[in-house]
Amino acid sequence: MINPFKLLGISDDVVNAVKDLGFENPTPIQEQAIPVLLEGNNDFVGLAQTGTGKTAAFGLPLIELIDFKLNKPQALILCPTRELCLQIASDIKNYSKNISGASVVAVYGGANIVQQLREIRNGVQVVVATPGRMLDIIGRKAIDFSSVKYVVLDEADEMLNMGFQEDINDILSTTPDDKKTWLFSATMPPEVRRIAKNYMDNPTELTMGTKNTGNVNIEHEYYMVRARDKYAALKRIVDFNPEIFAVVFCKTKMDTQDVAENLIKDGYNADALHGDLSQQQRDKVMQRFRDRNMQLLIATDVAARGIDVNNVTHVINYSLPDEIESYTHRSGRTGRAGKTGISICIINAKETGKIRQIERIIGKQFTKAELPTGFDVCEKQLFSLVHKVHNVEVNEAQIEQYIPRIMDEFAELSKEEVIKRFASLEFNRFLEYYKNAPDLNAAANDERGDRADRGARGARNSDYTRLFINVGSVDEFTRGDLLSFVCNNGKISGKNIGKIDLKGVYSFFEVENAIVDSLFSNFKDIQFNNRSVRIEKSGDAPEGGERRSGGGERRGGYGGGERKSYGGGGGGERKSYGGGERKSYGGGDRRNSGGSGRREGGSSTGGGFRDFSGKPREGGSGTGERRRRS
Ligand code: AMP
């Protein structure tokens, strides 16, 4: 049988390369776009969602059209973010791996420009760039675009959203007039239309899917809850979907951080991604998510741009975006590569109008969904556990030696009894936890509770003491890291901790008044990177200025080198948060209880995700949620 990519006009070298990537059949967008683009003599506008195979749709024809014997830039691909830039460059390298002399460079901000300039000097045919850095390099007269035949504007709507219009104008003006321009966009607002009009000559237009329609593989749902129940609703949704692998969108950096912190405290496998993190921290978070060592990525729109992680099961709009158009980009993080996905909005009654506006834009209707009851969650979790037990991989060699003793223990019990007991082990905890769980589905206009709630939260701080600690973001700590570090070494639960304020070489965190003394005593001998870790009441510690003296001398620099353990001696590597490649934040002493212990427990049955064993998570029994709310 002839390979279907070959039938579209792709050469053997490239067909073999995509075969190695596991591409067996072209996606619909590839089927439509490849033959058109291979002609090479037209401008092109493709209205296409992310995750549909767009990169290969333009990348494969581009490779066919380039003369790889000529060592000059012939194709320029502009895209909005560093992540996307790296992804596209890596994809094009993969597609062209069998072509001798093929060279692709990724040019993006926030990285060493010298290295990028060197690569350009060595000779490249394909330049993948973010607009700002590209302009910088053009300004240095470090690149010759006189042989450019094709310019691709990928995610054009995003580039305009991010204010790159002028940069794009300037860059395009340095390329030859007779080049062809291929534009891809998920939406077609007037500004993108204008680009097509100004820069293109009678472009061929292809709409992949219906015009302005979101990915057909995505279901859209909304849950209506009172504003004060939003967080509990989020947890309920997550609990009801034990295998969830989701991006949760918040409007502001602060919300993102708050939601992530609360989730971590409540035992979930989550982390935040937003613009206040350093590039290194963002990379770290993204790597964990990509490797599926993290279940919930809590992100702002800007930080999540260009996230191209496959198999995301859900996108959760914890808050609706201000710009309705952003919804398409958010929801496009799921339902990629032919997979199905669910995009969920958690809204209050006042926001139904916005849902209707979104429906008009995506050309699809939302389903109004009901939040599951506590009983529903218990049932779902129980069968998820049963399923996992059924499918668990048994390490025969390791378990064998214990089997006779285990058999002895169970000798009196029938098979049914054993099964019942195993299942009950976790089920009882869930039942206990959810026994008084309220119905969270909003009686639409009931906002009275919100005011009461705000009052309660305002009063919260008198129960907490603010503490100073001499570690911070220069030690590569995220707030989640700091939380784990304090919990593990202080032998307390995440529920005892309030706000965390991560600074440079130091940080502040709130802790319940009742446990301040024990925290101080547990932190007496804690070392980190061969220096003493010190905590002090924040009134005793000056907030302004970078304190270097707080915890003895910082040897070995800040954040250099590999950090194996954040604990006090002998920590070594251990997996945390459900079995990923996470380094330890704890000391050698593993007797610690509370949140971290629970989180760790998650790995035992969670297959990489925190799950059943991470109880309790919702209001019923004194969780972080309840503390915050009452
Ligand atoms: P993109 O829209 O280019 O970001 O592609 C989304 C995902 O689909 C990427 O992980 C690609 O590797 C994958 N992909 C693209 N084309 C195909 C194909 N023909 N068959 C299978 N997977 C594909």
What local confidence, expressed as pLDDT, does residue 212 receive?
39
Q: Which range, 171-175, 382-386, 451-455, 461-465, has the best average confidence (pLDDT)? A: 171-175
* Closest C-alpha residue for ligand 1 atom 8: 337
By percentage, how much of the chain surpasses pLDDT 70?
Answer: 80
Q: Which of 15, 92, 336 to mutate to test the pocket of ligand 1 (most atoms within 8 A of CB)?
A: 336
Determine the pLDDT at residue 564: 29
Angstrom distance (rounded) from CA 594 to CA 385 = 22
Q: Which atom of ligand 1 is nearest to the CA of 308?
A: 4
Cα-to-centroid distance, 52 and ligand 1 (Å): 6
| Ligand 1, atom 7, residue with closest C-alpha | 337
**Bigger pLDDT: 106 vs 558:** 106
- Which of 169-173, 192-196, 473-477 is predicted with the least confidence, judged by mean pLDDT? 473-477
Residue 87 CA, closest ligand 1 atom number: 4
> What mean pLDDT comes out for the span 458-462?
49
The rounded Å distance from CA 160 to ligand 1 centre is 24
pLDDT digits (tens, 9 = 90+) for 307-339: 778 888 999 999 999 887 789 888 888 887 667
Residue 507: pLDDT band with limits 50, 70, 90: confident
- Nearest ligand 1 atom to alpha carbon 25: 19
Q: Could you tell me the distance, in angstroms and rounded to a whole number, from the CA of residue 431 to the centre of ligand 1?
A: 42
What is the mean pLDDT of the segment spanning 58-71? Answer: 96
**CA 30 – ligand 1 centroid, Å:** 10
> What distance in angstroms lies between residue 51's CA and the mean position of ligand 1's atoms?
7
pLDDT of residue 461: 60
Question: What is the 102 CA–ligand 1 centroid distance (Å)?
Answer: 21
Mean pLDDT along residues 267-280 = 86
CA of 580 to the centre of ligand 1 (A): 25
Confidence bin at 295 (pLDDT 50/70/90) = very high
pLDDT tens per residue, range 562-578: 232 333 333 333 323 23
| Mean pLDDT score, 52-61 | 93
Distance from Cα 283 to the centre of ligand 1, integer Å: 22
Q: What is the pLDDT of residues 113-136, one digit of tens each?
A: 999 999 999 999 999 999 999 999
Question: What residue segments make up the domains of the chain, in order of their start?
Answer: 4-207, 218-371, 375-433, 463-557, 563-630
Q: Does 218-371 carry CATH code 3.40.50.300? A: yes
pLDDT tens string 412-424: 999 888 888 888 8
Ligand 1: residue of 32, 55, 84 to mutate (most ligand atoms within 8 A of CB) is: 55
Tokens representing residue 163 in the block: 């204010």
As for ligand 1, residues whose beta carbon falls within 6 Å of it are 23, 26-27, 30, 50-56, 308, 310, 336-337
| Contacts with 207 (C-beta within 8 Å, 6 or more apart), sequence order | 46, 47
Structure tokens that stand for 326 in this block: 């952003």
Atom index in ligand 1 nearest the CA of residue 59 equals: 3
Ligand 1 pocket test, pick from 52, 184, 290 with the greatest ligand atom count within 8 Å of Cβ, gives 52
Q: 285 pLDDT exceeds 60?
A: yes
* Atom nearest to 22 CA in ligand 1: 21
At residue 318, the pLDDT reads 96
444 pLDDT more than 50:
no
- Helix, strand, coil % in the chain, rounded to nearest 5: 45, 15, 40
pLDDT tens digits, one per residue of 519-536:
999 998 898 887 889 898
Q: How many CB atoms lie within 10 A of CB 340?
A: 13
Between 514 and 216, the more confident residue is 514
Residue that has been written with the tokens 């934040």 in this structure:
585
Residue 433's pLDDT band (cuts 50, 70, 90): confident
Ligand 1 centroid distance, CA of 17 (Å) = 13
Minimal-distance CA residue to ligand 1 atom 5: 53
Q: Which CATH superfamily is domain 4-207 in?
A: P-loop containing nucleotide triphosphate hydrolases (3.40.50.300)
Residue nearest to atom 14 of ligand 1 (CA): 53
- From ligand 1's centre to the CA of 328, what distance in Å? 19
Q: Please check whether the two domains, 4-207 and 463-557, share a CATH topology.
A: no
Which residues are CB-contacts of 148 (< 8 A; sequence separation ≥ 6)?
A: 73, 74, 75, 76, 175, 176, 179
Q: Give the ranges where 162-304 is alpha helix by DSSP (H).
A: 165-172, 190-199, 230-240, 253-265, 279-290, 301-304
What is the C-alpha to C-alpha distance for residues 65 and 347, in angstroms, rounded to an integer?
48
Identify which of 224-238, 469-483, 550-564, 578-592 has the greatest average pLDDT: 224-238
Cα(131) to centroid(ligand 1), Å: 24
**486-497 b/e (C-beta count within 10 Å ≥ 16 → b):** bbbbbbbbbbbb
- 473-496: average pLDDT: 83
* Confidence bin at 216 (pLDDT 50/70/90): low
User: Which CATH number is 463-557's, of 3.30.70.330, 3.30.450.270, 1.10.3720.10, 3.40.710.10?
Assistant: 3.30.70.330
